[in-house]
Amino acid sequence: MPPKHMISFFSTDVPSISYWEGEEEASAKLEGNLKLEFEGPKACVGFQSRNRRYRCPYHYEGRIQCPFCGSKDISRIYTRHDFKGYEELEDEFSEKEFSIYLVSFGERVKCGVTQKGRIRERVKEQGADYYAEIMQLKGAEAYEMERLLQSHFGFSNAVQARTKLKLLGREDPQFLENAIVEVESTSPFNEYMLDCPSPKKIDYSLPEKYSVAENINGKVLGAKGPLLFFENPSGSYVSNLKAHTGRFFTVQE
Give the 3-state secondary structure of the chain.
CCCEEEEEEECCCCCEEEEEECCEEEEEECCCEEEEEEECCCECCCEECCCCEECCCCCCECCCCCHHHHHHCCCHHHHCCCCCCCHHHHHHHHHCEEEEEEEEECCEEEEEEEECCCHHHHHHHHCCCEEEEEEEEEHHHHHHHHHHHHHHHCCECCCCHHHHHHCCCCCCCHHHHHHHHHHHCCCCHHHHCCCCCCCEECCCCCCCCCEECCCEEEEEEEEECCEEEEEECCEEEEEEHHHHCCCEEEECC
Please check whether residue 183 lies inside any domain of the structure. Answer: yes
Please check whether residue 79 lies inside any domain of the structure. Answer: no
Domain count, the chain: 1
Please check whether residue 139 lies inside any domain of the structure. Answer: yes
**Tell me, what's the pLDDT at 47?**
97
**Tell me, what's the pLDDT at 22?**
84
Please check whether residue 184 lies inside any domain of the structure. Answer: yes
Domain span holding position 162 = 99-201
Please check whether residue 29 lies inside any domain of the structure. Answer: no
Angle at 84 between CA 78 and CA 90, to 5 degrees: 55
**Tell me, what's the pLDDT at 253?**
66
Please check whether residue 151 lies inside any domain of the structure. Answer: yes
Please check whether residue 158 lies inside any domain of the structure. Answer: yes
**Tell me, what's the pLDDT at 78?**
86
Please check whether residue 26 lies inside any domain of the structure. Answer: no
The tens place of each residue's pLDDT in the chain, 253 residues long, gives 689 999 999 987 889 999 998 888 999 999 999 999 999 899 999 999 999 999 999 999 999 999 999 999 999 998 888 898 899 998 988 999 999 999 999 889 999 999 999 999 999 999 999 999 999 999 999 999 999 999 999 999 999 988 888 888 888 899 999 999 999 999 999 999 999 899 999 988 888 899 999 999 999 999 999 999 999 999 999 999 999 999 999 988 6
**Tell me, what's the pLDDT at 206?**
85
**Model pTM?**
0.89
